Amino acid sequence: MTPSDIPAVLSALTEQVGRVVQGAEGHVRHTLVAIMSRGHVLLEGPPGTAKTLLSRCLSRCLDMPMQRIQCTPDLMPGDVLGANVFDFGTQTFSLIRGPVFTEFLLADEINRTPPKTQSALLQAMQERAVTIDGTTHTLPASFTVLATQNPIENEGTYPLPEAQLDRFLFKLEVLYPSAEREVAAVMAHQASAAPPELDQLGLAPVVGRQYLPQLWAVPQQVRLQLEIAQYVVALARATREHRSISVGLSPRASTALAAASRALAACEGRDYVVPDDVKQLLVPLARHRIVLEPDAEMDGVLPEHVIAEVAETVPAPR
């Protein structure tokens, strides 16, 4: 598989998901970029905007078996990771694996569970491994977290810790659809108030699981010139020096932005990165990683506005 093959994959993936979820083209594109970059995705939006349904569609179309965690205030780390249980018959402990042992993990409403349980995913997201009672267990190489969360102002939510937010490649906003899109959704799913059955809609895998390693290898075929790398670093360093930002992008974020830009270039059918690739990904990659100064928050400044200002002030290479 080469960069020239990826636009067809993206087109087929968008067409399949579009049968079920209206207006998800951008989210499908960013999720494919995340999969190719070995990253994780956080979807934020109000209830009823098809975040969970979108996740199910992506799992089906990418041929990745999915496990789901419904995050609640009483969810414990062991409910996510699993636990060693003593077998009285054999007089030994055996591991009962939790839902984290999968390829595609949907953490639904992740900010409704306490920080201790949220943090149970830190090692899994960074190292694709979990440690239970001192023993480290390897997760599948394709392990990917797609988490959903309600806006932080909703009742009963816990803010995700900064260390965990930094492990999500993108934070994507799922907004209410336009009137035309909503009418199309009503017409398509008017027969029942229940979520649509993916089998009945004929949703089929676009990329077989056996081709995932080839997808991961595609960004490595995309050239990232030194000038683009310098541009990525300049953007990250500018966020650390901005007057309205108390915590800017980390070096891990810089590396992630470069990797994701290579994947996005492949989605365009190119084998080289241009500055616009970096600019397109800057907001979804940075909005959840930066921490605003308290006075900026009180003035109603949004992370997206500050990031846009940074992008305007840092000159792009020609």
pLDDT in tens, 25-51: 999 999 999 999 999 999 998 888 889
pLDDT above 90: residue 137: yes
Domain-embedded: residue 202: no
pLDDT of residue 207: 87
Same-domain pairing of 42 and 93: yes
DSSP assignments along 31-69, one per residue: HHHHHHTT--EEEE--TTSSHHHHHHHHHHHTT--EEEE
Does the pTM surpass 0.75? The reply is yes
Answer yes or no: do 182 and 228 share one domain: no
Q: Is residue 60 part of a domain?
A: yes
> What per-residue confidence (pLDDT) applies to 193?
65
pLDDT at 185: 78
The pLDDT, as a whole number, for residue 154 is 62
Tokens for 301, please give them. 């400044």
Q: Is 241 within the bounds of a domain?
A: yes
The percent of residues in the chain predicted with pLDDT above 90, rounded, is 66
What 8-state DSSP symbol labels residue 223?
Answer: B
Domain end, chosen from 187, 210, 241, is at 187
Inside any domain, residue 309: yes
Q: What is the mean pLDDT of the segment spanning 169-176?
A: 92
The two beta strands, 104-108 and 92-97, are unpaired
The CATH number of the domain holding residue 84 is 3.40.50.300
Residue 317: pLDDT band with limits 50, 70, 90: very high
Is 258 within a domain? Answer: yes
pLDDT in tens, 174-227: 888 788 878 887 887 766 666 667 777 778 889 888 889 999 999 999 999 999
**What pLDDT, on the 0 to 100 scale, is given for residue 157?**
77
Look at residue 310 in the predicted model and tell me its pLDDT. Answer: 95
Mean residue pLDDT across the chain = 90
For the residues 134-152, what does the mean pLDDT come to?
91
Contact 146, 58 (CB under 8 A): yes
pLDDT at res. 191: 64
User: Could you give the number of structural domains in the chain?
Assistant: 2
Structural domain includes residue 178? yes
d(CA 5, CA 10): 9
Long-range contacts of 153-161 (CB under 8 A, 24+ apart): 154/46, 156/73, 156/112, 157/111, 157/112, 158/111, 158/112, 158/113, 158/114, 158/115, 158/118, 159/111, 160/110, 160/111, 160/118, 161/115, 161/118, 161/119
Where in the sequence is the domain holding 168, given as residue range(s)? 3-187
Q: How many CB atoms sit inside 10 A of residue 84's CB?
A: 15
- Average the pLDDT over 150-176 and give the result: 83
Residue 86, pLDDT score: 83
Give 102-113 pLDDT, tens digit per residue: 999 999 999 888
Residues 90 and 157 in one domain: yes
The domain that holds 294 is classified in CATH as 1.10.8.80
